[in-house]
Amino acid sequence: MLALLLLLQAISPDVIVTGKRLEEAQSLCARGACDPLRDAQASIALAEARFRSGGYREAKDILWAAILRNRRHAATDPKPVAAIYEAYATVALHDGDLKAYRIGVAGRVRTLRDHLPGDDTSVIAASSALGDMWINLENFRQADAAFDAVERDASRAGLARTAMIAGMKRVWLAAAMGNGATARLMLAQLYRRPIAREQAMRTALDVLALRIATRQASEQDIDRLVQQVKRTQGEPSALIYAPRWEERVSRTATRNASVAFRERDIFQPVAAEVENLSWIDVGFWIRPDGTTGDIAMLRSTYKPWWTGIALRQIAGRRYTALANADGADQGLGIYRIERITKRTRYVKPVNSLIERHVAADGYEVLDLTGPPSGKAG
């Protein structure tokens, strides 16, 4: 969301500042005194400030109100309107509101598809977001179909880089679903494309190949593989390996056992059950050799029980090494801050007509440091 705000500011010479002036600027827009671009800037900036401080629902309300004000301008200002939808979807996903998340993604895609040429890069990028949405909703077959459509549309439009990225997403999705042979075959086909000769694309393909390899690699193998791909200066460090997130208990396995023994699903929420939002901000260094260090919780709603799980997960990650990482002058590396939210979902519990937050498996992760030039994490 930070990168989105920076993009909006780059479109216009206006600069939105935080604090009281930001609230004043956004309040003018809330009264209808702003054009769509200015409204998008102010509303996204204020929503991001609320999001960072843990006000997920307030951030979502700010963005939804901005959508209601500006969706009638979609024909004349599609990109600012789509940006508001995108920010709304991001916040909704962290808030566990899957209905709002789907509305945000669909609104972004519809706005751009209806009002920009089909070969516009914004349209194709938004279509790729549909694939990401289906992954988050655990509909992997639909996700693959969405990425396949993006890959074909981008190829027809002559957007080789966009087509390659969509193809790589399909490869990773196949590997994640356990179709290793299919993933390796698809990856080999990507290597044969002319754009694969570009250094950046070649590195991206090599990283993807290593990520597939590390799914069954030992710690020693991972150390060796990481050294095979060293990023050049100014390129982001790419994640090669990350351990699975721990869970206190597997809800899926327990639910299946309950069904097998014809017992009540103990994870089916009842009317009195509610789960409060919990999140933490974690800061850490990506060292020159690709390992992580100095991992610390910077702030949180409170100290959630799962804090240790998050810190251990980050400690086990391996990123691409910096160029000349064996040198003594490489410094600490790249510092990154991530917002990690324990996943919840809005559902109607048994014997209730009111939707509420309940616990769900998994975590949502968002890079709060954004992609500043030469230091993306």
Q: Domains in the chain, please, with CATH?
A: 1-116 (1.25.40), 239-377 (no CATH)
Per the listing, tokens 């702003």 go with 34
Q: Give the type of residue at 332.
A: L
Alpha carbons within 13 A on the beta-carbon side of 258: 12
Q: Name the burial class of residue 254, with classes exposed (0-12), middle (13-18) and buried (19+) by CB atoms within 10 angstroms of its CB.
A: middle
What are the C-alpha distances in Å from 256 to residues 130, 136, 246, 249, 361? 30, 21, 19, 13, 15
For the segment 230-289, what is each residue's pLDDT rounded down to a tens digit?
655 556 678 888 888 887 555 555 455 445 554 444 445 444 455 578 999 999 988 888
Q: Is the dihedral of CA 342, 343, 346, 349 positive or negative?
A: negative
CA distances from 69 to 32, 38, 131, 132 (A): 8, 12, 28, 27
pLDDT value of position 16: 44
* pLDDT at residue number 120: 85
What pLDDT was estimated at residue 14? 44
Q: Which residues of the chain are modeled with pLDDT < 50?
A: 1-18, 254, 257-258, 262-267, 269-272, 325-330, 371-377
- Please tell me the predicted confidence (pLDDT) of residue 307: 92
Q: How much is the pTM?
A: 0.78
Which residue, among 34, 28, 27, 33, has the nearest Cα to 12 in the 3D structure? 34
What 326-333 contacts at long range (C-beta under 8 Å, 24+ apart), as own/partner pairs, is 330/288, 331/288, 332/285, 332/287, 332/294, 333/237, 333/285, 333/286, 333/287, 333/288
> Per-residue b/e over 124-157, b at no fewer than 16 CB within 10 Å?
bbbbbbbbbbbbbeeeeeebbebbebbbebbbeb
Q: Do the Cβ atoms of 103 and 352 come closer than 8 Å?
A: no
